[in-house]
């Protein structure tokens, strides 16, 4: 093991001991060190960091900035131990404050994704991705939360799903619709038949019986999106797995508005269900959906007695 590889492991272990998850850092920093080794470099340099951060060349500039920020954090820490370390300046590929525009999945889009997953030649893989897509769509949980689920996290009798080890280190319980429990039960039966001895307690497994890996899921997602015929609306609006979470939130809020519910009173419930720290994080979904904004404006006008 090279000094840099050992340094990355120490850096990740130190920060994780402080409560940081560093899932993305754990995937990307070893790849960065491999790029340095391939270039014959024994220390972090600004040029090498910038070259690595700009991969792939077709990626969004914000992705480049995020990659460089990860290297910057490690380099700032490692420079205290290795004076040869160069720390990339903060104004080099600065992060943009603009968020990605959520992709507006329709029911037909989700049907197309499910169909593309069902066409996967391997039965277990097809069922895994069909069920995963369905669960993301009807619960709004994060992809990372879904692939960390164990079978024991589902109370099959009461239809309650427990999401553990979330983004903010908390757990939450989600009530599932009976049809969702039925779909999960069917997937369980099929996986028991096709893979009777998995190596993990994970709910979703690979064809090898192992827990799914985020990078592989993301890569397969891009393939399914292509096979389903879903095209980007713009450079900032691409069909991402995370946008199913946005769709769930928007659909829920639209239903409340149309039913005449007290949305402000119910918003903390949605925030808790989604695993947000505060309702303010959930309000972003309202701002990002024109139809929600229109309904909110109509309600405000009615409350103020504005003429129509």
Query: Among candidates 46, 51, 52, 37, which has minimal Cα distance to 84?
Result: 46
Which residues on neighbouring strands pair with residue 202, listed in sequence order? 150
CA distance 283 to 271: 9
Q: Write down the catalytic residue from 245, 246, 247, 257.
A: 245
Q: Look up 242 and say whether it is catalytic.
A: yes
Marked catalytic residue, from 103, 105, 273, 285: 285
Phi, psi dihedrals of residue 265, rounded to the nearest 5°: -70, -30
The question of whether 148 is a catalytic residue gets the answer no
Give me the catalytic one of 24, 233, 242, 287. 242
Identified catalytic residue from 167, 172, 211, 266: 167
Active site residue 246: no
Active-site choice (191, 238, 247, 276): 276
Is residue 237 classed as helix, strand or coil in its secondary structure?
Answer: strand
**Catalytic residue check, 227:** no
Task: Verify whether residue 276 is a known catalytic residue.
Answer: yes
Residue whose C-alpha is closest to residue 225's, from 72, 105, 66: 105
The one catalytic residue among 72, 142, 148, 246: 142
DSSP string computed for 243-300? HHHHHHHHHHHHHHHHTT--HHHHHHHHHHHHT-SSHHHHHHHHHT-HHHHHHHHHHH
Tell me whether residue 21 is one of the annotated catalytic residues. no
Q: Which residue numbers are catalytic?
A: 142, 167, 242, 245, 276, 285
């Amino acid at each position: 093991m090279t000094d840099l590889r050992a340094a990355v492991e120490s850096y990740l272990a130190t920060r994780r001991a402080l409560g940081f998850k560093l899932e993305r850092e754990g995937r990307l920093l070893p790849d960065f060190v491999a790029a340095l080794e391939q270039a014959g470099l024994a220390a972090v340099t600004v040029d090498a960091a910038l070259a690595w951060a700009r991969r792939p060349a077709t990626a969004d500039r914000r992705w480049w900035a995020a990659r460089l920020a990860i290297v910057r954090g490690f380099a700032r820490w490692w420079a205290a131990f290795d004076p040869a370390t160069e720390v990339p300046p903060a104004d080099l590929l600065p992060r943009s404050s603009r968020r990605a525009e959520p992709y507006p999945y329709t029911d037909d889009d989700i049907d197309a994704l499910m169909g593309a997953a069902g066409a996967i030649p391997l039965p277990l893989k097809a069922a895994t991705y069909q069920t995963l897509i369905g669960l993301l769509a009807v619960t709004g949980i994060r992809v990372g939360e879904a692939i960390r689920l164990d079978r024991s996290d589902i109370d099959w009798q009461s239809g309650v799903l427990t999401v553990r080890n979330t983004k903010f280190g908390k757990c939450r319980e989600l009530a599932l619709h009976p049809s969702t429990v039925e779909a999960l039960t069917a997937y369980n039966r099929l996986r028991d038949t096709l893979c009777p001895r998995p190596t993990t307690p994970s709910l979703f497994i690979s064809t090898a019986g192992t827990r799914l890996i985020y990078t592989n899921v993301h890569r397969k997602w891009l393939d399914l999106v292509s096979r389903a015929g879903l095209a980007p609306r713009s450079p900032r609006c691409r069909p991402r797995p995370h946008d199913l979470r946005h769709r769930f939130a928007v659909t829920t809020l639209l239903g409340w508005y149309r039913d005449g519910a007290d949305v402000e009173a119910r918003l903390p419930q949605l925030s808790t269900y989604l695993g947000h720290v505060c309702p303010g994080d959930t309000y972003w979904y309202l701002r990002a959906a024109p139809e929600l904004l229109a309904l909110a404006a109509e309600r405000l006008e009615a409350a103020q007695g504005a003429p129509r």
